[in-house]
């Protein structure tokens, strides 16, 4: 199997950037070695697929719009009716989901090589992300564990809230480098650290 | 303009794509009534007031919606999944 390479290339520069002298507002980190899989249920099989995802991941996913869970490197969240992002640091994730979700229940698509996962963490994460995405990042509107599908500059992004000040962004791999630079520009004001 | 998607919640109109008038009735496919087909393809009422229309949440959950919008004020009185509308195909159903 081909060795996965980061899409960020030379744009990934570890260290402190922007107005870091005033403190570190957010930390940016590319989550590597992940399997990213989309599972889609048929209309009448959503409860069965949610149960199958829970059995494979060990995460109990509520069956309501945008709901999800995360624990360590594992994440699950809904982003459309009957559609779920499933993420884990396990190379056999797709295989295990395929075994659990037969065609009668839904479909499984491996997005690992099509997405870049970026973790944004820090007290200014809501502020910085609000510059890019026209959604409400406050915790009452975007609770912990929940996911969102939205746009920045007409480019699709999936976002999950991991905790009070941490978000995981899943962007198209082909746009990941330019998005990373855009994210850096947005974060420069508050100072940011790349790890 | 904010459209309240039934799945995603309130989102800016930039996330949506207008898909046209939802009040049109397709003529019987077996019909060769050219006036009826011409009206179906080209004629639009363009009312000042409430209007049912299709929107695609292309920048979110990618579901087709039926939005009832006031053409004069842009006030939206209802939003629902198009698949839940009687007489339309249900997206997500198995072929």
Q: pTM, whole model, 2 decimals? A: 0.91
Helices A125-132 and A173-188 meet at what angle, rounded to 10? 120
Closest-CA residue of A relative to B12 is A134
Of the candidate CATH numbers 3.40.50.2020, 3.30.1130.10, 3.30.70.1290, 3.30.70.1520, the domain formed by A35-112 belongs to 3.30.70.1520
For residue A190, how many other CB atoms are within 10 A of its CB?
20
The candidate with the shortest Cα–Cα distance to A169, out of A195, A141, A149, is A149
Q: Which of A81, A141, A156 sits opposite B63 (nearest CB)?
A: A81
- CATH for B2-23+38-84? 3.30.2270.10
Contact A106, A188 (CB under 8 A): no
Contact B62, B7 (CB under 8 A): no
For chain A, the residue count is 195
Q: Which residues of B touch A (CB under 8 A)?
A: 7-9, 11-12, 14-15, 59-63, 81, 90, 92-94
The per-residue pLDDT string of chain A (195 residues; one tens digit each, 9 = 90 and over) reads 677 789 999 999 999 999 999 899 999 999 999 999 999 999 999 999 999 999 999 999 888 899 999 999 999 999 999 999 999 999 999 999 999 999 999 999 999 999 999 999 999 999 999 999 999 999 999 999 999 999 998 889 999 999 999 999 999 999 999 999 999 999 999 999 999
Asked if the ipTM is above 0.85, the reply is yes
Q: Which of A65, A83, A150 sits opposite B59 (nearest CB)?
A: A150
The candidate with the shortest Cα–Cα distance to A111, out of A146, A158, A59, is A158
């Amino acid at each position: 199997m081909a060795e996965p390479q980061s899409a960020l290339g030379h744009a990934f520069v570890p260290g402190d950037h922007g107005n870091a002298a005033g403190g570190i507002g957010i930390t940016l980190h590319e989550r590597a070695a992940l399997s990213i899989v989309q599972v889609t249920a048929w209309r009448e099989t959503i409860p069965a697929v949610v149960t199958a995802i829970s059995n494979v991941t060990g995460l109990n996913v509520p069956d309501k719009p945008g709901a999800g869970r995360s624990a360590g490197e594992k994440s699950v969240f809904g982003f459309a009716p009957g559609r779920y992002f499933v993420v884990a640091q396990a190379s056999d994730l797709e295989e295990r989901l395929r075994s659990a979700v037969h065609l009668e229940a839904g479909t499984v698509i491996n997005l690992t090589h099509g997405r870049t996962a970026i973790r944004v963490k820090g007290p200014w994460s809501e502020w910085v992300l609000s510059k890019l995405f026209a959604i409400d990042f406050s915790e009452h509107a975007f609770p912990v564990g929940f996911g969102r599908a939205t746009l920045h500059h007409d480019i699709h992004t999936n976002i999950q809230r991991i905790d009070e000040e941490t978000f995981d962004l899943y962007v198209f791999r082909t746009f990941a480098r330019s998005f990373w630079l855009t994210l850096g520009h947005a974060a420069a004001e508050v100072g940011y650290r790349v790890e | 303009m904010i459209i309240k998607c039934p799945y995603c919640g309130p989102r800016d109109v930039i996330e949506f794509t207008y898909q046209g008038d939802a009040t049109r009735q397709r003529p019987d496919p077996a019909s060769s009534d050219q006036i009826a087909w011409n009206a179906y393809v080209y004629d639009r009422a363009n009312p000042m007031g409430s209007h049912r229309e299709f929107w695609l949440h292309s920048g979110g959950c990618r579901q087709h919606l039926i939005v009832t919008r006031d053409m004069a004020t842009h006030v939206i009185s209802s939003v629902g999944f198009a698949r839940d509308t009687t007489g339309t195909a249900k997206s997500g159903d198995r072929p």
